[in-house]
Amino acid sequence: MATAARTTPDARTAQKARSTGYRGLLRTPGAWAFVLPGFAARQPFAMLTISMVLLVRHATGSYGMAGAAAAITGAASALCAPQGGRLADRYGQRAVLLPGAALHTLSVLAVVVLAVSGAPAWALLLTAVPAGATVPQIGPMVRSRWSVALDDPASPLMQTAAAFESVTDELTFVVGPVIATALCASVHPAAGLVAEAGLTLVGGALFAAQRRSEPQPHRSSADGGVKHASALSLPGVQALAIAFLGVGAVFGGMQVSLAAFTQEIDRPGLNGVLYGAFAAGNMVSGAIYGAVSWRRTPRTRLLAAYMGLAAACAPLWATHSLAPLSVLPLIAGLFIAPTIVTAYSLVDTLVPRSARTEAFTWLTGAVAFGQAIAVTVAGLLTDAHGSSAGFAVPLVGTVTALAVLIGLRGRLAPPPAGAKATGGIGHRPPVSVD
């Protein structure tokens, strides 16, 4: 008995060591069943905005109009995504995903038909609304499945899962823009959107078919709060949404400004490569960030990462040559993943399971809305003053969001044990993630 008592802690330590990190994460029972289809299903999201920009710019000859179309798409997605997430929490992911993917495919194809047939600009802008409103929210759905699979907000694998999803997202943003740009440049300006529509339909069906990993619907709150209260009523989600608006400003400003810059130097095929470098920086930092055991609190790490992101965006507007613009987007991308990973980790401690898909979609929607504003402003600035003016958008967006985030930093700390949640959603007992 004494020997058993001495060896049991060692066995538990060894088991804990084996269960941490990416290897332990991917050994979670049933993980691969939703990870692989989820990767395929989210690929179209990385292709949508850049494909929209390139097609509308070709059809109208204006980056401002292209930015407006992409902005409307992003705004519609930002406004409707949380409602889709809320419905997925209540009725199940499959019930929302299948009709949504079909509607999105039809809406995108309508944009293509109007663009190639020479329809007026107002018709393109009008059709961009349903194209954005029906974007399937695969990323938030996958993150909700990780929360169920790990079944413990205090698990060290929660941060690893958030980092893994960030890496997966950015891998799609390495591949997606390159594919979309190549199709638009070598096949037809509409080819990127056609491919996006087809991948949405097929990928969404494959992901929806994974029923065993799907979270159980929550028709009513099981956490003691008001039924179906919005996740945005939680102060922590509000603060994180503001941070993600700034992240969206970086994405949108980069997309339009890099596209304009490569047009200015008469090398449009480099657009996907340069934006891919930005996404690659995000992917690399996400992989490293998720493998490190951090001692600082998530709130401290989030603020530090956001400060680095704002600083990295500062020199972009003053750059006018290819060499620095081959490196600066990569550096800016290095700070995106720590921001996103930490924010998603905080969601697991601040939001009850019955509202997590909606909370994740509010953050995704905030990125889309910030991106929508950024592509509009950057498009107008680029048309009037060139690509350098467009690069000011990521800087202004991140500095503004950082100032607000610092002021709201108190909302990012989990409430003391036993404290009641505000905003109509009850909390499980808070736990530290450090």
Distance of alpha carbon 254 from alpha carbon 329, whole angstroms? 8
Residue 127 falls inside a structural domain: yes
The total number of structural domains in the chain stands at 1
Distance of alpha carbon 181 from alpha carbon 409, whole angstroms? 39
Residue 20 falls inside a structural domain: no
Which parts of the chain sit beneath pLDDT 70?
1-20, 152-154, 170, 173-174, 219-229, 414-434
Angle, in degrees to the nearest 10, between helices 271-291 and 157-186: 170
pLDDT at 366: 87
Angle, in degrees to the nearest 10, between helices 356-385 and 63-91: 180
Distance of alpha carbon 349 from alpha carbon 192, whole angstroms? 38
pLDDT at 124: 92
Residues with Cβ within 8 Å of 128's Cβ and at least 6 positions away in sequence, in order, are 52, 69, 70, 72, 73, 76, 111
Distance of alpha carbon 52 from alpha carbon 48, whole angstroms? 6
Residue 183 falls inside a structural domain: yes
Residue 139 falls inside a structural domain: yes
> What does DSSP assign to residue 153?
T
Residue 412 identity: L
pLDDT at 111: 95
Residue 68 falls inside a structural domain: yes
Distance of alpha carbon 434 from alpha carbon 431, whole angstroms? 9
The CA-CA-CA angle for residues 408, 414, 416, to 5°, reads 120
Query: Residue-wise over 396-426: b if at least 16 C-beta within 10 A, else e?
Result: bbbbebbeebeebeebbebbeeeeebebbbb
Residue 337: name the closest of 406, 278, 414, 402 by CA. Answer: 278
pLDDT at 259: 86
pLDDT at 153: 61
pLDDT at 219: 66
Cβ(177)–Cβ(279) below 8 Å: yes
Ramachandran category for residue 29: left, alpha or beta (phi over 0 → left; psi -120 to 50 → alpha) = beta
Residue 306 falls inside a structural domain: yes
Angle, in degrees to the nearest 10, between helices 31-60 and 63-91: 150
Helices H / strands E in the chain, number of each: 17, 0
pTM over 0.75: no
Residue 275: name the closest of 261, 258, 263 by CA. Answer: 258
pLDDT at 1: 41
Distance of alpha carbon 433 from alpha carbon 342, whole angstroms? 10
Distance of alpha carbon 424 from alpha carbon 356, whole angstroms? 14
Residue 428 falls inside a structural domain: no
Q: Tell me which residue range forms the domain holding 379.
A: 34-215+229-412
SS3 state of residue 245:
helix
Distance of alpha carbon 98 from alpha carbon 84, whole angstroms? 12
Residue 383: name the closest of 55, 65, 59 by CA. Answer: 65
pLDDT at 250: 93
Listed in sequence order, the DSSP H helices in 187-327 are 191-208, 235-264, 271-291, 298-313, 322-325
Cβ(184)–Cβ(54) below 8 Å: yes
Distance of alpha carbon 86 from alpha carbon 231, whole angstroms? 9
CA torsion 9-15-20-25 (nearest 10°) is: -150
* Residue 93: exposure state from Cβ atoms within 10 A (0-12, 13-18, ≥19): buried
| CATH number of the domain that residue 67 is part of | 1.20.1250.20
pLDDT at 148: 79
Distance of alpha carbon 166 from alpha carbon 119, whole angstroms? 38
Residues with Cβ within 8 Å of 246's Cβ and at least 6 positions away in sequence, in order, are 306, 309, 370, 397, 398, 400, 401, 402, 405
